[in-house]
Structure 1
Amino acid sequence: MSTDHPLPEAHWFRNAAPYIHAHRGRTFVIAFTGEAIQGPTFPHLIHDIALLGSLGIQLVLVHGARPQIEATLAQRGLNLRYVNGLRVTDDAALFCVKQAIGAVRVEIEALLSMGLPNSPMAGAQVRVAAGNFITARPLGVREGVDYCHTGEVRKVDIEAIRQRLNSGAIVLLSPLGYSLTGEVFNLSAEEVATVSAIALGADKLIFIGTGLPAAAPSPLPRELNPQEAEQLLRSTSELPDELVCHLQSAIHACRSRVPRVHIIDQHLDGALLMELFSRDGIGTLVTAIAFEDTRRAMIEDVGGILELIAPLEERGLLVRRSRERLEMEIHHFTVMERDGTIIGCAALYPFPEEKIGELACLVVHPDYRQSGRATALLTGIEKAAKQQGLSRLCVLTTQTAHWFRERGFEPSSLEALPENKRALYNYQRNSKVFVKSL
């Protein structure tokens, strides 16, 4: 049996190929909560992390341990006290903190060491490096409260971490820090991950946490810049504390030159791979870099435009354009680029003597139709036409007449076309003419 359509697995892998190349040699800091470690899909997450390492990505893992610490305290009849949202770690609590974090770290190292035949980790041979990479200092006494062994990050030993990464190891950081006086401090895993990502100049900081509750009134946006993330925090009071911390850390990291911060729900098995190896991901991206941009086309965009318009040319919806012709006319095109991929294009061919322009080759990728992007491209073309002193815009179409009518184009005759365009009219296609005054 043969088919013209690739199998879903092959299609996904082909689409992932650009990201595989783009991520190779990059540094990612991945933080996951103690709740994620307790979850049923955590071994799968470790398998996915090992896969990232095999693809040449340098990985720094930061684990939380809150539920494990609380369980260890409960066994001893103790509770971790919070004042003003900060933990107070006395001597008894510190003993439990060290015990719980040590057990968690050993569990993670054991999972990364798996290599049984017929398992996802077969032949992986992952090396894990852990150590005293974090220097900490005490929070001290604040508003009369002594936080004892609760601390904050003072310094990250970047040189030592880089040495381990360059040797091919995965670096594992625990939420503990050490002082020059030999003391141990209980730290926030969120802070360890954020400060480490900034100090390393990481390409990505990834938080894997509990996400929004199922009863949340609306999902978290897929993309935010730091300003939008701040606005979300100001305007929304229903966000869980953990998610608030993730967003606050993301804002700080982005403004400290970490290009992209991803927030992923730990309950979605395979979410890490989907976030990193698909164009739209599955979590929330916080970035100060424009993820999607509309701009004038360049000669380097020819291949992407050809790939975008080819299916419509095959169906006869567009006039065929050769690569040579497109290269010659590329200065007429506007493209919409999303994460390095051309997802939309449109062309404006001006006829200044007659003060009219032709709108042509307006295409949006099937994954992004019904999203307003075609209208945005049209708006951009209309603006460019006005800037060039044109007073009307014409278009030839065979199957999208209603779409143009809904956006102010009126049916017209061949005589409304510029003289040069009218002379090239293809009577076999029998395209309808529409004109819009600007």
Structure 2
Amino acid sequence: MDSRFPFVDWFRNSSPYINAHRGKTFVILIEGAAMASSRWDQLLQDLALLHTLGVRLVLVYGIRPQVSAALEAEGIEVERVEGRWVAHRAIMDHVERIASRQRLDIEAQLSLGLPNTPLHGIELTAVSGNLVTAKPLGVRGGVDFDHSGEVRRVRSQAIESLLAGGNLVILPPLGYSRTGEVFDLDAADIAQHVAVALKADKLILLGESAGLHDDDGQLQRQLGPAQGESLRQQADPGSELWRHLGAACEAARHGVARTHLLSWHDHDALLGELFTRDGVGTMITQNRYEQLRQAVLDDVGGLLALLKPLEARGMLVARTRERLEHEIDDYVVIERDGMIIGCAALHRFPEAAMGELACLAVHTDYRRGSRGDTLLSEVERRARRQGFAQLFALTTHTTHWFFERGFELSSTEALPGLKREAYNQARRSKVLLKSL
């Protein structure tokens, strides 16, 4: 029965993510263009919601469009070198003024608590300060960058203390030197350094682009830093995409588990990425030791080694090398340091709008994690992308594992015709069905 209120079902389905994110540290960059848009109030409300759900938040904000507009109005020409402007004193006056104004605006909006407003009843303390130490870019290629700087150090202990106190930390695109000077910094660079220093669970970059797409226009949901760096080399130096990919790849290399590239134009981007199975943007993650990927022919030997013990125990139907080679495009695998430690297959029955989850297996040494769920989620995602309405599985040993993940007991009559005809009566496998 469908709910009278669609959001209720969404809320129910988001509960695992709410639990998973509680107590985690997220560093979120919101570019200046978003702050000047009609989406700004909604973004702040989303941040406040994350705070109430127990997420520890550091907000870094950009001001490039606002400063550019102010400089143009004053007739001040800006010299740009390799994507950075040369921040002379006249430019820094505008940078400091606008950064301060924007910070005050954020604090004011996060203090809003009138009845009939989304923040009614929320006590949220926003804190800023001299939490990022900077150094000047100096003279490069014969150009004196003056007050343009880069991050020297993040005062991570101070930020940790503020987060532990239940505060939301706000960081402007400024840094402070030991000599008492203020430097103009790249907001994406600040976000990356802060995420690394805090060992943040997520770095979220909200910009113009709704993630990264391949040549066919398909969203690339997950990339490694090497792939991200390759795409960065194709972007214009100093562009938002260039800056965001640089921050994402560097964060991944230095231990930040996941960086998300999202568009602030999308009303649902932030919450949709965090509280749904598939998300809406692109994630950059370092999978040096373990990764989920499409199987290839070279994996057949590893698949045979993984499946043989389970086949011997009668948990899986025996598969020959020839069969695996023929069906290899149906498989996804989890590879850890060159070893296949998990696999699953999606066999397609388009005439019935159904897919079969088959050969789901995880190496015995690696079953304590959530790899089975990861494989299941990937197969479900692929099935939805194929337009399938249902997923079925046949099992003799793991019925309750499937029950716990939304499958229901069914009968052979529910199977597609070809699968029903091939059903092995001797094994008496349970038929499990899940709507997608």
TM-score (normalizing by structure 1):
0.69
CA distance in 2, matches of 1:425, 1:216: 44
Superposed CA deviations along residues 98-142 of structure 1, whole A, max 9, x for unmatched, are 111111111111111111111111011210110000110100001
2:9 aligns with one of 8, 11, 15: 11
1:162 aligns with one of 149, 156, 160: 160
Q: CA deviation at 1:184?
A: 0.7
2:416 aligns with one of 400, 406, 414: 400
- Contact kept? 1:292, 1:339, Cα under 8 Å: no
Q: Which runs of 5+ in 1 are unaligned?
A: 299-316, 319-328, 346-362, 379-395, 405-410, 430-438
CA distance in 1, matches of 2:132, 2:165: 20
Matched, 1:57 2:72: no
Give the letter aligned to residue 39 of structure 1. S
1:239/1:278 CA distance change after superposition, 3 Å: farther
- Contact kept? 1:30, 1:61, Cα under 8 Å: yes
CA distance in 2, matches of 1:265, 1:176: 23
Matched, 1:344 2:362: no
- Contact kept? 1:89, 1:149, Cα under 8 Å: yes
Please state whether the residue corresponding to 1:171 is helix, strand or coil: strand
1:134 aligns with one of 132, 135, 138: 132
Matched, 1:264 2:239: no
Q: CA deviation at 1:245?
A: 1.8
Q: 1:32-431 maps to which residues of 2 (within 5 A)?
A: 32-211=30-209, 218-234=217-233, 241-289=239-287, 292=292, 341=373, 344=376, 365=380, 368-369=383-384, 371=386, 399-402=415-418, 422=426
Of all paired residues, the percent bearing the same amino acid is 39
CA distance in 1, matches of 2:241, 2:118: 30
Superposed CA deviations along residues 132-161 of structure 1, whole A, max 9, x for unmatched, are 001101000011100000000001111111
- Contact kept? 1:206, 1:263, Cα under 8 Å: yes
Q: CA deviation at 1:238?
A: 8.5
Please state whether the residue corresponding to 1:288 is helix, strand or coil: coil
Give the letter aligned to residue 172 of structure 2. S
Q: Which runs of 5+ in 2 are unaligned?
A: 295-302, 311-353, 356-360, 394-410, 432-436
Q: 1:389 maps to what in 2?
A: none
Give the letter aligned to residue 195 of structure 1. H
Superposed CA deviations along residues 40-83 of structure 1, whole A, max 9, x for unmatched, are 01100000000000111110000000011112222322133212
1:291/1:101 CA distance change after superposition, 3 Å: farther
Superposed CA deviations along residues 206-248 of structure 1, whole A, max 9, x for unmatched, are 00001169999725412212233234345x5599921222112
CA distance in 1, matches of 2:270, 2:428: 51
Superposed CA deviations along residues 397-427 of structure 1, whole A, max 9, x for unmatched, are 65334579xxxxxx77x9xx6xxx64x669x
Root-mean-square deviation (Å): 4.0
Please state whether the residue corresponding to 1:80 is helix, strand or coil: coil
CA distance in 2, matches of 1:219, 1:369: 15
Give the letter aligned to residue 228 of structure 2. A
Give the letter aligned to residue 400 of structure 1. P
1:216/1:23 CA distance change after superposition, 3 Å: closer
- Contact kept? 2:151, 2:175, Cα under 8 Å: yes
Superposed CA deviations along residues 242-275 of structure 1, whole A, max 9, x for unmatched, are 1222112111101100000001101011210111
1:18/1:142 CA distance change after superposition, 3 Å: same
1:251/1:340 CA distance change after superposition, 3 Å: farther
- Tell me the number of residue pairs that the alignment of Structure 1 and Structure 2 aligns: 345
Q: 1:27 maps to what in 2?
A: 25
CA distance in 1, matches of 2:362, 2:224: 31
1:76/1:250 CA distance change after superposition, 3 Å: same
Larger radius of gyration: 1
CA distance in 1, matches of 2:385, 2:202: 31
1:130/1:9 CA distance change after superposition, 3 Å: same
Q: 2:314 maps to what in 1?
A: none
Give the letter aligned to residue 40 of structure 1. S
Please state whether the residue corresponding to 1:15 is helix, strand or coil: helix
1:342/1:229 CA distance change after superposition, 3 Å: closer
Please state whether the residue corresponding to 1:344 is helix, strand or coil: helix
Q: CA deviation at 1:341?
A: 3.6
Give the letter aligned to residue 21 of structure 1. N
Superposed CA deviations along residues 357-410 of structure 1, whole A, max 9, x for unmatched, are xxxxxx95487345599xxx99xxxxxxxxxxxxxxxxx965334579xxxxxx
Please state whether the residue corresponding to 2:203 is helix, strand or coil: strand
1:223/1:214 CA distance change after superposition, 3 Å: closer
Superposed CA deviations along residues 81-100 of structure 1, whole A, max 9, x for unmatched, are 21222210111111111111
CA distance in 2, matches of 1:159, 1:181: 21
- Contact kept? 1:58, 1:165, Cα under 8 Å: yes
CA distance in 1, matches of 2:115, 2:55: 24
CA distance in 1, matches of 2:16, 2:279: 14
Give the letter aligned to residue 100 of structure 1. I
CA distance in 1, matches of 2:380, 2:387: 12
Give the letter aligned to residue 223 of structure 1. Q
Please state whether the residue corresponding to 1:261 is helix, strand or coil: strand
CA distance in 1, matches of 2:25, 2:167: 12
